[in-house]
Amino acid sequence: MSGFSIGLSGIDAAQKALDIIGNNIANAATDGYHRQQINLSPSYSSQTGDNLIGGGVDFKGVTRVIDSLLEQQILRQNSVSEQLSQEVQTMQTVESSFSEFSSSGGLNAAIDSFFNSMQDLVSHPAESIYQNQAVSSANAMAAQFRTLSSTVSTLQNQLKLETGNVVEKVNNLASTIAQLNDHIERLEIVGTKANNLRDQRDQCITELSKLVGVDTTERDYGVVDVNIGSIPLVVGSSASQIESGLDQNGQIGIAAKGSFNYSTDYSGGSLGGLLSLSNELVSGVQDNLNNLAAAIINEVNQVHFQGVGSAGSFTELAGRTMTSDSVADYSSAGVPVTDGKIYIRVTDTATGKTTRSAVDVDASSDTLATIAAKISTITGLSATADASKLRITADTGYTFDFLPAVSPEPSTSNLTGTTPPAVTISGDYTGTVNQTYSCTVANGGQVGNGDIKIEVRDGSGDVVNTINVGQGYAAGDVIELADGVKATFGTGDLNAGDSFTVDAFANTDTSGLLVATGMNTLFSGKDASDIAVCTEIANDPSRIAAAAGADGTDNANALKLSALKDKKLDNLDGLTVSDYYHRLVSDVGEDISIKQTVYNGSEAVLKELTTQQDNLSGVNVNDEAAAMLMYQQMFTAMSKYLNAVYTSVNSIMQIL
């Protein structure tokens, strides 16, 4: 009766093979499906004498055609490619927002236009058309900063939202993988091979690898554990949930749900790209943009507050509303207020006489109220600090300003001659730090006669110049003392040892308080998000401070403002404003170029790996059709074989 067993085993094997072939063909276009193949082995059932008689064919199971190492490489490459793709696409959005190739020219053109308008103001400091142009270009530049900052900020918010969406997808896939693990284990623990379920589970892991970098570990009965970073996302049939949030540094991180231990150390997939973009790439662009705006705000305001416009000195001046009364909390675009002095120049409009007074600022203890009280002790001025806003008001018949112009008279004078000459001070100080020049007569005599020398020493006591007011000097001639500060000597006599001092100012507020509180500044705000032209100047362009001289009709301050374009700034890494911006834009472009190149290489590798996977595990319909024909013929032949066995047995039975 072994013939029947052989025939039935062959038919059974052929039928199972045809079922497997049919399943392969049906899933030829199914993502993640791995071709399956039947495993057969010859069956031996009896031995006659020395001969082992075959007993047909045994069905040993169905095997997925899969290369585990290749699959792992594809998972890793998926993660790399998806992260790079996310980064390239987003950074291209950032690059386009700079609008450098648009008709308007973007922020770079706006910055150039602003400084060009300052240069025009140098030639026309008192003409309203150029004052209006300067204010308009300042407004345009500030608007460009705010627009660009808003675009980048909106993008950052979108990245945060998208991070949450990706986290939700990760959690859903984790739950699905855990459920499939459970089904697979239940089937395979009783000996059933769950190949199709394995394919479904592995496809979910592949989709997960596109969202975040994964590590997988295969266990018994077809179960696969999945880790992302330090989080065991799937363990057998159990799935953890993750969440996104901000770490202690304000960066977006990932943590197991409920642990709040957010970590930014996740890479791979779109989630890795989103974290990299949020915490480094896009945030870096925003930081650089804010740094640039803050530098412009601070540098321009440091020059502007010391000047006056064609409207002249002030009878009243108010700063902006502060969020605190304590001076220690104040800063200008990130530069904090320090201990120092404020020098206020007060003019008696009836006599034209000017006096300069110093107000000490103690950053650790002063408040707006104490500063106002100190200013109010100056003759001709009163000050208040109502509603956290500093306001200075000149008494009737007085005006005030913060001009660095040298006083026409020496700060101190000790001239002991019988008829000492009148000494008049003039000029524009070109130094970079405040100085007190001490001038001492070395040899006495009559001005314009003899050998009269005057030594000029700086604040460190070093001799910086020696001038001759003896033979060859004509009374009334202007002679330079040092760094643009000049003096004129009238007729009279000087004794050896006579002296006078001259105060020269590069900065009339060494504390930074005036700029921090917005007193006579061009820009308000702290960075690119809120930079704006101060309302008072926007409403009255004649207040744009082009002059720094004593009479307020010069262009010295406009020259300083226009010179900022080419000034190398320490807080911009030693670069000029334009160079820093160009570096910012070029860094974005270079980053995109590098990542695009790496992405293209990664995609080429992934394509090659996928081709290898298709060649090994994919379904070739032609090959399956050939196999189907073979098993179909096998089925037919075995049927005929059974029929022959049956006929033979039936004939024997009839004979018997």
- pLDDT per residue over 178-217, tens digit each? 999 999 999 999 988 899 999 999 999 999 999 999 999 9
Q: Based on DSSP, count helices (H) and strands (E) in the chain, helices before strands.
A: 13, 28
3-state secondary structure of 495: coil
Report the alpha-carbon distance of residue 270 to residue 605 in Å, rounded.
18
The secondary structure of 300-369 as a DSSP string is: HHHHHTT-B-TT-SBSEEE-PPPS-SBGGG-EETTEE--SEEEEEEEEETTT--EEEEEEEE-TTT-BHH
Pick from 359, 430, 406: nearest CA to 500: 406
In a domain, 624, yes or no: yes
Contact 441, 499 (CB under 8 A): yes
> Residue 104 is which amino acid?
S
In a domain, 28, yes or no: yes
pLDDT band at residue 652 under the 50/70/90 scheme:
confident
Element (H, E) at 480: strand 478-482
Beta bridge pairs of residue 346: 355, 400
The whole-number pLDDT of residue 47 equals: 63
> Residue 569 is which amino acid?
L
Domain boundary among 504, 539, 573: 504
Backbone angles phi, psi at 439, to 5 degrees: -110, 120
Contact 188, 212 (CB under 8 A): no
Residue 1, pLDDT above cutoff 80 = no
Element (H, E) at 63: strand 51-64
Residue 408, pLDDT above cutoff 60 = yes
What would the mean pLDDT of 51-77 be, rounded to a whole number? 86
How many CB atoms are closer than 10 A to CB 237? 16
In a domain, 134, yes or no: no
What would the mean pLDDT of 88-105 be, rounded to a whole number? 79
In a domain, 13, yes or no: yes
pLDDT digits (tens, 9 = 90+) for 131-159: 999 999 999 999 999 999 999 999 999 99
The secondary structure of 117-148 as a DSSP string is: HHHHHHH-TT-HHHHHHHHHHHHHHHHHHHHH
Burial class of residue 80, CB neighbours in 10 A (0-12, 13-18, 19+)? buried
For the chain, how many structural domains are there in total?
A: 2
> Residue 146 is which amino acid?
R
The whole-number pLDDT of residue 646 equals: 77
3-state secondary structure of 139: helix
3-state secondary structure of 164: helix
The secondary structure of 556-612 as a DSSP string is: HHHHHHHHGGG--BGGGTTB-HHHHHHHHHHHHHHHHHHHHHHHHHHHHHHHHHHHH
pLDDT digits (tens, 9 = 90+) for 305-320: 999 999 999 999 999 9
Note down the domain range covering 474: 412-504
Pick from 334, 373, 375: nearest CA to 572: 334
Residue 103, pLDDT above cutoff 60 = no
Residue 508, pLDDT above cutoff 90 = yes
Mark 443-470 as b/e (b = at least 16 C-beta within 10 Å). Answer: ebbbbbeeebbbebbbeeeeeebebebb
Domain boundary among 458, 482, 504: 504
In a domain, 400, yes or no: no
Pick from 576, 595, 577: nearest CA to 587: 595
In a domain, 453, yes or no: yes
3-state secondary structure of 125: coil
> Residue 297 is which amino acid?
I
Report the alpha-carbon distance of residue 593 to residue 604 in Å, rounded.
17
Domain boundary among 452, 478, 504: 504
* Cα-Cα-Cα-Cα dihedral sign, residues 25, 29, 35, 36: negative
Give the list of residues 6+ apart from residue 156 with CB closer than 8 angstroms, or none. 278, 282, 283, 286
Burial class of residue 482, CB neighbours in 10 A (0-12, 13-18, 19+)? buried
pLDDT band at residue 514 under the 50/70/90 scheme:
very high
Residue whose entry in the numeric block shows the structure tokens 């001046």: 317
Q: Which of the 8 DSSP states describes residue 277?
A: I
Contact 240, 212 (CB under 8 A): no
Give the list of residues 6+ apart from residue 488 with CB closer than 8 angstroms, or none. 423, 424, 426, 476, 477, 478, 479
User: What is the CA angle 161-163-167, rounded to 5?
Assistant: 120
In a domain, 247, yes or no: no
Report the alpha-carbon distance of residue 5 to residue 15 in Å, rounded.
15
Contact 481, 487 (CB under 8 A): yes
Report the alpha-carbon distance of residue 438 to residue 628 in Å, rounded.
109
Beta bridge pairs of residue 253: 245
Report the alpha-carbon distance of residue 288 to residue 581 in Å, rounded.
8
Contact 367, 386 (CB under 8 A): no
Q: What is the pTM of this model?
A: 0.85
In a domain, 458, yes or no: yes
**Taking all residues of the chain, what is their mean pLDDT, rounded to a whole number?**
91
Residue 601, sorted as left (phi over 0), alpha (psi -120 to 50) or beta, turns out to be: alpha
pLDDT band at residue 100 under the 50/70/90 scheme:
low
pLDDT band at residue 278 under the 50/70/90 scheme:
very high
Q: Where are the alpha helices (DSSP H) in 460-531?
A: 513-517
